[in-house]
Amino acid sequence: MISESSSERPAAVTAPLIGAASFAPGDIVRHRMFDFRGVVFDIDPVFANSDEWYEAIPEEIRPAKEQPYYHLLAENGDSSYIAYVSQQNLVPDAEGGPIDHPQIEAMFEGLDDGRYRVRAIHRH
């Protein structure tokens, strides 16, 4: 125990620097390296998936954990799926057209000016 008169102080607790999210639910984005696009439906302020998932990413392209990560309703030329992507690997989608994913209608009301409107029941 450290007394008030002690010159020793407990070590400061530091948290990782976390950047602000660049995208919001409803935004349509494209992966920077892989050929798929999707609509954001949730955001983690920092990495929140399993270590096993993270370690499966090749080290030379593995993104930092201390940045926003996005849950996407994603599509590519072959299928639709859920993707989990770091902010550094996403760019705004220039195509602007609809995303072909079976869960779009459950979460979003429609597409306006290249962005989906979040259904009222999914808003915080």
Domains of the chain: 28-122 (2.30.30)
Give the amino acid at 27: D
Give the amino acid at 36: F
Q: What is the mean pLDDT of residues 103-111?
A: 94
C-alpha to C-alpha distance for 123 and 23, rounded to whole angstroms: 15
Nearest to 41 by CA among 19, 10, 17, 73: 73
End-to-end C-alpha distance for the chain, whole angstroms: 43
Burial of 109 (0-12, 13-18, 19+ CB in 10 A): middle
* pLDDT the model gives residue 32: 96
Kindly report, residue by residue over 45-103, the tens digit of the pLDDT.
Answer: 999 999 999 999 999 999 999 999 999 999 999 999 999 999 999 999 998 789 999 99
Average model confidence (pLDDT) across the chain: 87
CA distances from 99 to 5, 24, 26, 41, 80 (A): 63, 16, 11, 12, 9
Which of 9-18, 20-29, 54-63 is predicted least confidently?
A: 9-18
For 16, list phi and psi in degrees, rounded to 5: -65, 150
Whether the model pTM is above 0.75: yes
* pLDDT the model gives residue 122: 53
SS3 87: helix
Element (H, E) at 78: none
* pLDDT the model gives residue 6: 43
Q: What is the mean pLDDT of residues 17-37?
A: 91
